[in-house]
Structure 1
């Protein structure tokens, strides 16, 4: 086979770093929308073949194949010319309805016995088979490919089942030329060829294997042969790029498949990305989309299960981490013995653990891929990579509010430089104010912006104030344009409550950055929060009056925002003398949100259409979603510079003194949860990144 010339690796020049790319990709991804858990992975080959050019004015390209493979053309008593005549006779006979020779030809391509060799095993033949005979038929069938019509689908299936990766280099190269010849005959054959090759992504194992008569082929050798074939076919038939993208999407491992299955498949995807750089954006989007899917599944699984199951999963992860450090070989059952009440619970715990380990491994791999690019975070290459990452974040990660860890890819690399911080903040603002975006996506952007501002230690004080000022401007404008509001309604005014809740969240973490330092008394110690308690502080212009105006408005944001964030804000704002909101909180206890609810029931629809019962007050509150809550995956967290980049929650113990001491002490003992929880945190990251 003629040598394949590699494609140029030269990258196009980039726009200046200050230029922000559009978030939506100009060319829609071939992958399209991701399917749900019950997606059908049985690919319609004819449907895929329609992706190939089918213009009646163009003839299909004729591909010439070389037989000069440095192989012996006479093997035993069989010559290449004999095999060509035999193959031609079988195909012509099949076209006339005589299938005796045709069936015999199919049998020659039947899967050969495979075996694993023991070290030192004698390589002597143990039967009368001639393993090299098949090579002659591969070459002969390649030369007769034009005779393979639609009626030869049975032979094509037999050929594609051949164990070609487990033989030697000469055989694999000849077989690749046969695949190319088949692909040139008709589009459906090409789709079947690519489908067979993508199936190999999940079949190649780490151990060596072979067929009788051949030296064992290692997993790496098989991978190299497979991707040599893919590169060759995609260079001959460029339209195959659309087919391969649909195939790798459809055949991606299920979320319940093992970590090894996922990592092996992703390894193949990254090899394909290296061979065909033009597929890189789609491949990275695919990997991210499946990682997000795992992330969301795990969040929902742990939310919907009992606390004992969650505790068992955490113990298993901790035990696995300890085992990797000290070499302990104790099994999972001993770790779970206190938690397991039934076989079903054991199965769930092990499944959750497997998913978490898979998610952790994939995220760790992605960190390792991106990290070298950001060694110089202001370089053109780093800015380009971050803009690509932002595009994937906007299209894949952001719409999924239950994602808990995947978004840390953006968080981690955004904080590498002020320029990248600005790019991320600018992207979130663009999405939050983009009129064509769905409301749920715009609210998610607001939550991300508030969480990034609160948690990102390298978000400067001036940026915190600008973001808080923008939030204040929005809620004031919204209040002024909704004077006919009857009362609080989270479904009708969700965007307003998202901004208000985000503002409270930012205040709880970054209240010191909302003070005008130039007007502060010199007695304040910025490293000692207690020195601020009870002081008349010069707050950012308009903060106090504008908050008060919105709190007392009919929109009543304190009633609709998360009670736990409202409570924490109330305590801080009272002791810091910003605003006293306890009277409004007490008044809200008598307000029933369901009376203002404007769901489908209120407009004449069925009650079940609204998705929840109106008399359940918790469903009428804004969902708590702050995506940069503490990162808890044990392996991939090594990439996060938590002490220097992450602000953990610090409770001010001085607030527990005085008249509220008993009540506040009870609050201090409660553990915070992501949904319906206090801002207090009890995680492994509490001792890292404390804000000062």
Structure 2
């Protein structure tokens, strides 16, 4: 540590000497005022290191004389620009088109121009830009072509003084001509998907790195948002429009998301819209990927996921390499695809979709994680409220979302109060009478899956949720049992969804439903044999009333889940339902099925004989997570299936139980046979 006393004060200050910093600071402030850019923005402007060069004053004078001789002074150019715009308004566009041509990027065959010509071109463009800045009031809709040419010019890779002048021009333009605000913002956001390295390799200009090019885009955008606060409202729909399409590359998606996150650092008012947009597009990619996998042969789909899971480290390395690829990489990829067969192309596209989804989710986990460093902080509370909003408005209404919801799964388990908050939200959505039945059923599935699979969900929460669902089941049963003709999925869908939720929770968390002071060793097969377990008060009675009611939920609930529940309940002496399952085999659901849930009988003569159409789907949103890179975020939060001590699935199954597929994992409720549901690899 250096103290003030240690500083050498023996050298006196020279009388009349000028402070060195005063000239520099005054020059900086003057430039900021001229360009209407504040000091904070100037401080954030990327600095380019310049080599020390000794200039020949004679050469400099010669160049200046040349510009003066050509009439390229700023004042003369201003006059020329004004006259050209006015003449264009009268129908004479010759000089107007000449000015517009100054901002047209050089063609490839112009790259061999001499350095001096390129420098002159850069200086000429800057002078005309400064001149146009003074006459933005004349750039009405008739000058749309000139404005578009300026927006399309290569501006990011030029010297810093040009970038500042460009920012000033855009600021004056959008302040004076409001019709151009959307066009200007759209141009800047268009670079969020990535900037070309060639944009930083302009003739006559020092090379600019990709990071600095991106920084200049944000520098200008930040200046415009500060200049026009209402620009944020215009920017929000533009961000949605410019978001990469689902079939765009992984690199493009991740780059765009990174730029969105950088945007909300200086435009926090857009944070809610930005995160909602990312979640919405992520869900669409998620669902489409699952649909594509379901449409493929099981062997091909399994091979795709297995290939991705073999080496996630290599995938991360490839992502880094892509950032340094040349501008021709996309064209090379298209050419290589031409040699593949149709099936190989489809497999390649699906594999790219899986990798893209994996990379985006991994990036989102990284973005959200700092907010939950302290789960009890205001930042964590606000961000979790945002996630809950995304869940209720985007994830929940989307059928077959497969991985996006694990953002909630992970961060809800950061603290007990967050677990209660997420479970409470699911309970509210599932029990709210005014909501559509399909959303209530989905909420019940999310609630059951979260409680069953959440490693940090405490036993007390499991019991509370079980009791809440059971109480609601009693209410629905009492309301409908007297008029019930038989099991009907459309008419009593919410009742069956909640019953299936209880069966699923029981299969995974039956240990937490035991109300006994004695602790049993799960590793000892004899621990549960012959034991009279004491269950939490009311759960057996609640399930019995629901199962043996006229609504007959075991006929409607997914057969694999019903079968697994029957085995576990019988083995633990909780309940014996095999006689009911045998009786249900003789019931045809089509005779009770209603049309549109209004009680009208279905035309059984024209319908399908497949009973599965009248039964619940075995969809539980937090089924095993298989994306190889982002999987690391939820591994410690997840409850894997554990076999039941003393229960042998192959030998102890009663002949009257529902038929099971021989390929199911031992002891686990069967899940959809998709490539991403193979829990055995966890």
**TM-score for both structures, normalised by structure 2:** 0.81
Could you tell me how far 1:659 is from its partner in structure 2? 6.0
Bigger Rg over Cα? 2
Provide closer, same or farther for how the CA distance between residues 256 and 605 of structure 1 changes in structure 2, counting only shifts above 3 A.
farther
CA contact 2:282–2:357 (8 Å) conserved in 1: yes
Provide closer, same or farther for how the CA distance between residues 213 and 395 of structure 1 changes in structure 2, counting only shifts above 3 A.
same
Note the alpha carbon deviations across 1:608-660, whole angstroms, 9 max, x for none.
9xxx9553321211122211111111111122242xx3211112363227963
Alignment of 1:210-609 (within 5 A): 210-321=201-312, 323=314, 343-482=341-480, 483-518=482-517, 524-525=520-521, 528=524, 530-600=526-596
- Equivalent residue, structure 2, for 1:18: none
* 2: CA distance, partners of 1:658 / 1:93: 91
* 2: CA distance, partners of 1:564 / 1:73: 89
Q: Over aligned residues, Cα RMSD in angstroms?
A: 3.3
Could you tell me how far 1:669 is from its partner in structure 2? 4.5
Local SS of the residue matching 2:260: helix
Q: Does 1:157 align with 2:148?
A: yes
Note the alpha carbon deviations across 1:525-566, whole angstroms, 9 max, x for none.
366464123422212222223322222222110011111100
Q: Which moved more, 1:308-317 or 1:352-361?
A: 308-317
CA contact 1:204–1:223 (8 Å) conserved in 2: yes
Could you tell me how far 1:434 is from its partner in structure 2? 2.6
Local SS of the residue matching 2:586: coil
Unaligned regions of 5+ residues in structure 2, if any? 1-34, 42-63, 322-338
Local SS of the residue matching 1:97: coil
Could you tell me how far 1:377 is from its partner in structure 2? 1.8
- Equivalent residue, structure 2, for 1:655: 647
- Equivalent residue, structure 1, for 2:324: none
* 2: CA distance, partners of 1:600 / 1:381: 45
Note the alpha carbon deviations across 1:450-488, whole angstroms, 9 max, x for none.
111111122111111111111111111111000201111
Local SS of the residue matching 1:130: helix
Note the alpha carbon deviations across 1:279-317, whole angstroms, 9 max, x for none.
111111111111111111111111222112202312330
- Equivalent residue, structure 2, for 1:87: 81
* 2: CA distance, partners of 1:514 / 1:381: 35
Local SS of the residue matching 2:594: coil
* 1: CA distance, partners of 2:569 / 2:600: 42
- Equivalent residue, structure 2, for 1:630: 624
Q: Which of the residues 672, 675, 683 maps onto 2:679? A: 683
* 1: CA distance, partners of 2:538 / 2:552: 19
- Equivalent residue, structure 2, for 1:2: 36
**TM-score for both structures, normalised by structure 1:** 0.80
Provide closer, same or farther for how the CA distance between residues 557 and 136 of structure 1 changes in structure 2, counting only shifts above 3 A.
same
Provide closer, same or farther for how the CA distance between residues 313 and 81 of structure 1 changes in structure 2, counting only shifts above 3 A.
same
CA contact 2:156–2:200 (8 Å) conserved in 1: no
CA contact 1:75–1:132 (8 Å) conserved in 2: no
Provide closer, same or farther for how the CA distance between residues 197 and 571 of structure 1 changes in structure 2, counting only shifts above 3 A.
same
- Equivalent residue, structure 2, for 1:104: 98
Could you tell me how far 1:189 is from its partner in structure 2? 1.3
CA contact 2:195–2:213 (8 Å) conserved in 1: yes
Note the alpha carbon deviations across 1:78-101, whole angstroms, 9 max, x for none.
110011000000011111121111
Could you tell me how far 1:222 is from its partner in structure 2? 1.2
Provide closer, same or farther for how the CA distance between residues 217 and 321 of structure 1 changes in structure 2, counting only shifts above 3 A.
same
CA contact 1:148–1:185 (8 Å) conserved in 2: no
Per residue, is there more helix in 1 or in 2? 2
CA contact 2:624–2:679 (8 Å) conserved in 1: yes
Provide closer, same or farther for how the CA distance between residues 439 and 359 of structure 1 changes in structure 2, counting only shifts above 3 A.
same
Provide closer, same or farther for how the CA distance between residues 143 and 100 of structure 1 changes in structure 2, counting only shifts above 3 A.
same
Provide closer, same or farther for how the CA distance between residues 167 and 530 of structure 1 changes in structure 2, counting only shifts above 3 A.
farther
- Equivalent residue, structure 2, for 1:142: 133
Note the alpha carbon deviations across 1:243-280, whole angstroms, 9 max, x for none.
21101101111111110111111121111111211111
* 2: CA distance, partners of 1:614 / 1:636: 41
Could you tell me how far 1:382 is from its partner in structure 2? 2.0
Provide closer, same or farther for how the CA distance between residues 326 and 300 of structure 1 changes in structure 2, counting only shifts above 3 A.
closer
CA contact 1:259–1:354 (8 Å) conserved in 2: yes
* 1: CA distance, partners of 2:476 / 2:164: 67
CA contact 1:632–1:684 (8 Å) conserved in 2: no
CA contact 2:513–2:536 (8 Å) conserved in 1: yes
Provide closer, same or farther for how the CA distance between residues 601 and 510 of structure 1 changes in structure 2, counting only shifts above 3 A.
closer
Q: Does 1:646 align with 2:638?
A: yes
Provide closer, same or farther for how the CA distance between residues 93 and 674 of structure 1 changes in structure 2, counting only shifts above 3 A.
farther
CA contact 2:437–2:494 (8 Å) conserved in 1: yes
Could you tell me how far 1:109 is from its partner in structure 2? 1.7
Provide closer, same or farther for how the CA distance between residues 462 and 210 of structure 1 changes in structure 2, counting only shifts above 3 A.
same
* 1: CA distance, partners of 2:568 / 2:374: 40
CA contact 1:206–1:218 (8 Å) conserved in 2: yes
Could you tell me how far 1:344 is from its partner in structure 2? 1.2
